[in-house]
Amino acid sequence: MKSLKLYGPRDLRLVEEPVPQPQPGEALLRVRAVTVCHSDIHYYRDGRIGNTVSTEPLVLGHEFCGEVVQAPAGDSHLRVGDLVAVEPAISCGRCRFCQEGNPNLCEHLFFAGVPPMDGGLREYVTYKPEFLFPLPANFTAEDGAMLEPLGVALHSWDLAHFRMGDTVAIVGCGPIGLLMIQLARIAGATEILAVEPLAYRRDLAAELGARPVSPEEDLERFAAAHTRGYGVDVAIEVAGAVPAQEEAARTVRNGGRLVMVGIPPEDQLLITHHVVRRKGLTIRIARRMKLTYPRAIALVERQMVDVRSLVTHRFALEQGAEAFELVAGYGDGIIKAVVCP
Ligand SMILES: [Zn+2]
Ligand SMILES: [Zn+2]
């Protein structure tokens, strides 16, 4: 089978490998769609995220959907031919953090596409059925892959403890930010500010019902002007850039909540202390996601969240490097690129 492997910064190679053999209790999947995430770009460009370094050749891709080719004997929830969404985080289920309901913080965690576990940018993968979610009939493979970023958006949204009628600022309108705007609509936000430097992404945010603003504006004043002088109840930083952290903090009212989702390449959290101290902000930091697939599937199935229109560019596995360059460079009006192995 063909497999797209990262050998070093900006060195992706298409290699031939044997089809993996499922162990007892595992399923074999034919990978159908992999969407490219900015955390993949960190490995692609820098060979690392924070202190997690890729030293061996690695198959990237943690947002993916597969078709069941072989279901494990005795398993009743998977059928051959089913499309399944894949939970990239393989948690142990037994450690203190799993037992407390936080599998995303598991101390024995493996994550697809993060060293040392290969991800989805290859033709076949083997997987444990408890981490696979069969999809309703109206789902495409791309929809299935997009459930992972939607899960991150949902988990981050959960951390905000948003109340119906609250106001929100979404700082960063990449795929997750645009999903967050949709969640804000459903959740009854009375004002959605969308902070984004790229004009084409601001336009999309506006189409989804947000009030777009460039980070070059005076954000504190802008937020106050649209929230009866107070600032927003909740700000969510989803840009993955150091300046966005402060931008998010500046939009929030006294006693408000700030959720940090983005992963800045500088590996730093930098906010002017008096800004968050004087406002007495509650700051929460999102770690990937947990237990979100059933809700993500239901939201897409009922057409309450549109993931499909966010996929703007499509590539074959052979063109994987092109997809990564496009995402890394924010070229050609890109929102989300999908690679179909
Ligand atoms: Zn991702
Ligand atoms: Zn665990």
Q: Residue 124 pairs with which residues in a beta bridge? A: 30
Ligand nearest to the CA of 146: 1
Asked whether 110 and 271 are in contact (CB, 8 A), the reply is no
Residue 4 Rama label (left phi>0; alpha psi -120 to 50; beta): beta
Helices 175-186 & 141-159 angle (0-180, nearest 10): 70
Q: Which pLDDT value is given to residue 76? A: 81
Residue 181, pLDDT score: 98
What's the CA gap between 28 and 89, in Å, rounded?
Answer: 17
Residue 93 CA, ligand 2 centroid: distance in Å: 5
Rounded to the nearest angstrom, the distance between the alpha carbon of 292 and the centre of ligand 2 is 17
| pLDDT at residue 96, rounded to an integer | 98
> How far apart are the CA of 225 and the centre of ligand 1, in A?
34
Place of tokens 């050998």: 7
Determine the distance separating the centroid of ligand 2 and the alpha carbon of 25, expressed in angstroms. 19
Number of the ligand closest to the Cα of 290: 2
149 CA from centroid of ligand 1 (Å): 5
Q: Is 83 helix (H, G, I), strand (E, B) or coil?
A: strand
Residue 201 carries which DSSP code?
A: H
The rounded Å distance from CA 323 to ligand 1 centre is 15
pLDDT at 315: 98
What separation in Å is there between the alpha carbon of 48 and the centre of ligand 1? Answer: 15
In this structure, the dihedral spanned by the alpha carbons of residues 117, 119, 124 and 128, taken in order and rounded to 10 degrees, is 60
Residue 203's region, left for phi above 0, alpha for psi from -120 to 50, else beta, is alpha
* Cα(148) to centroid(ligand 1), Å: 7
Superfamily of domain 152-285: NAD(P)-binding Rossmann-like Domain (3.40.50.720)
CA of 306 to the centre of ligand 1 (A): 17
Q: How far is the CA of 73 from the centre of ligand 2 (A)?
A: 26
Query: How far apart (Å, rounded) are the C-alpha atoms in residues 28 and 188?
Result: 41
- For residue 40, the ligand closest to its alpha carbon is 1
Domain locations along the chain: 2-134+307-340, 152-285
CATH of the domain spanning 2-134+307-340, picked from 3.90.180.10, 3.40.50.300, 2.60.40.10, 3.20.20.150: 3.90.180.10
- For ligand 2, the distance from its centroid to the CA atom of residue 305, given in whole angstroms, is 31
How far does residue 190's CA lie from ligand 2's centre (Å)? 39
Residues of the chain with pLDDT under 70: none
Per CATH, 2-134+307-340 and 152-285 having the same topology is answered no
Q: pLDDT, tens digit, for every residue of 168-226?
A: 999 999 999 999 999 999 999 999 999 999 999 999 999 999 999 999 999 999 999 99
CA of 290 to the centre of ligand 2 (A): 12
Q: Which ligand is located closest to the Cα atom of residue 147?
A: 1
Task: State how far the Cα of 132 lies from the Cα of 71, in Å rounded to an integer.
Answer: 11
The closest ligand to the CA of 111 turns out to be 1
Ligand 1 midpoint to CA 255 (Å): 30
The ligand whose atoms approach the alpha carbon of 238 most closely is 1
Q: How far apart are CA 7 and CA 13, in angstroms?
A: 7
Q: What is the 3-state secondary structure (H, E, C) of 301-337?
A: HCCCCCCHHHEEEEEEHHHHHHHHHHHHHCCCCCCEE
Whole-number pLDDT of residue 229: 98
Nearest in space to 269 (alpha carbons), one of 284, 290, 281, 254: 284
